[in-house]
Structure 1
Amino acid sequence: MAQNPARRAALTDAAIDVLAREGARGLTFRAVDVQAGVPTGTASNYFANRDDLLDQTARQIHHRLVPDPAVIADLLRAPRDRALVGALMHDLMRRITADRAGYLAMLELRLEATRRPGLRAALTGTIRDELEANIAYHLTEGMPGGRETVVALYLAMTGLILEHLTLPEVLGADGLGALIDSLVEQIVPAA
């Protein structure tokens, strides 16, 4: 199997675009080759099979959605209060909106995971680990609230993101910031 990391990243980025646009059924090696602008057969040289392509695409999505350390460092100069949690949630929405294809591809992978036990196990492990890391980070940084606060924020933001990216007219894009503020105010304790 080919080992050029830059080419592999370009192929998984292309797979993300195909997933977001065509769904899991449209994700073929040929579609990835076309999206990446590489010769036919290139993707099949980099991924052992479709499951490997799905798994590595999921990893690339998570890599693309990681917060910018400089932005986080800047935000963390603020007091550890509800306002900081709100700022972090606004940054999350900004990142996901900026990489709409990445998040839509992740939604497609979640749906595909209902039919593929291996993918379900991998995604469950990855997302559970990320949630636990977010909980640990929240507690370590001394943010208000505990485990339940982070889980409630995760569930609320996941729903808001889903609605915003798939049916934005339902809630309206103009009030998105106010909705985030309201969620944080209702979920995160003041002190």
Structure 2
Amino acid sequence: MVRNPERRAALLDAAIGVLAEEGARGLTFRAVDTRAGVPVGTASNYFTNREELLAQASVRTYERFMPARAEWDNVLSGPRDRAKLAEIMRATVTRLAADPNVYLAALELQLEATRRPELRADLTARVRADLDANIAFHEEAGMPGGRDTVLVLYLALNWLVTEYLTLPGVLASEGGLEELATRVVNRIDLEG
């Protein structure tokens, strides 16, 4: 296999674009090569088969979801109260929605995982580890609420971003993405 990390990342970014725009059925080596603007056959030199391409695209979506260092530093500065939690959740949903292709590709990968047990196992492990890390970080940072708070925010805000990107008209009259994230935080029980 070829070992050019920049080219590999560009191919995975192209795969994310294909997944978001054409779905998992449209994800072929040729489609990735075309989208990346590289010669036909390039993707097949980097990934042994379609299953590996899907698995690595799912890893790349998580890399692209990660917040910048400044966002992490902001979490650890100032008071640990409901207002701070709302600020963090607004930043999170804004980051997730900022590049719709990444979020939509992640949804496509989850749908594809219902048909591919190996992809399901990989995604389940990655998402569970991410949720556990978020719970641990929330608790270690001394944010209000606990495990249940993180779980409720995870469920509500993931669906908020999904709805915002896939059916924006449903919530348009209810407020913008950041306003809705704030409303979620303001209505959860931080004492339980």
TM-score scaled by structure 1?
0.96
The ranges of structure 1 where at least 4 consecutive aligned residues each deviate by more than 6 angstroms after the TM superposition are none
Cα deviation 1:46-94 (Å, max 9, x = unaligned) = 0010110001000110000101111221343120111111111111111
Flag structure 2 segments of 5+ consecutive residues without an equivalent: none
Contact 1:20 1:105 in 2 (8 A): yes
Equivalent residue, structure 1, for 2:13: 13
Contact 2:144 2:190 in 1 (8 A): yes
- Partners of 1:70 and 1:175 in 2: CA distance: 24
Flag structure 1 segments of 5+ consecutive residues without an equivalent: none
Please show how residues 137-156 of structure 1 align to structure 2 within 5 Å: 137-156=137-156
Please show how residues 33-182 of structure 1 align to structure 2 within 5 Å: 33-172=33-172, 174-182=175-183
Deviation at residue 188 of structure 1 after TM alignment: 4.6
- Partners of 2:39 and 2:176 in 1: CA distance: 45
Residue type matched to 1:64 in 2?
R
Identity of aligned residues (%): 55
Deviation at residue 189 of structure 1 after TM alignment: 1.6
- Partners of 1:188 and 1:46 in 2: CA distance: 48
Residue type matched to 2:182 in 1?
D
Other structure's SS at 2:143 match: coil
- Partners of 1:97 and 1:64 in 2: CA distance: 12
Equivalent residue, structure 2, for 1:27: 27
- Partners of 1:190 and 1:92 in 2: CA distance: 22
Deviation at residue 186 of structure 1 after TM alignment: 1.3
- Partners of 1:117 and 1:190 in 2: CA distance: 39
Contact 1:96 1:103 in 2 (8 A): yes
More deviation, 20-29/85-94: 85-94
Contact 1:144 1:188 in 2 (8 A): no
Alpha-carbon distance change, 79 to 188 in structure 1, aligned in 2, over 3 angstroms: farther
Contact 2:93 2:178 in 1 (8 A): no
- RMSD across aligned C-alpha pairs, in angstroms? 1.4
More deviation, 69-78/100-109: 69-78
Residue type matched to 2:179 in 1?
A
TM-score scaled by structure 2?
0.96
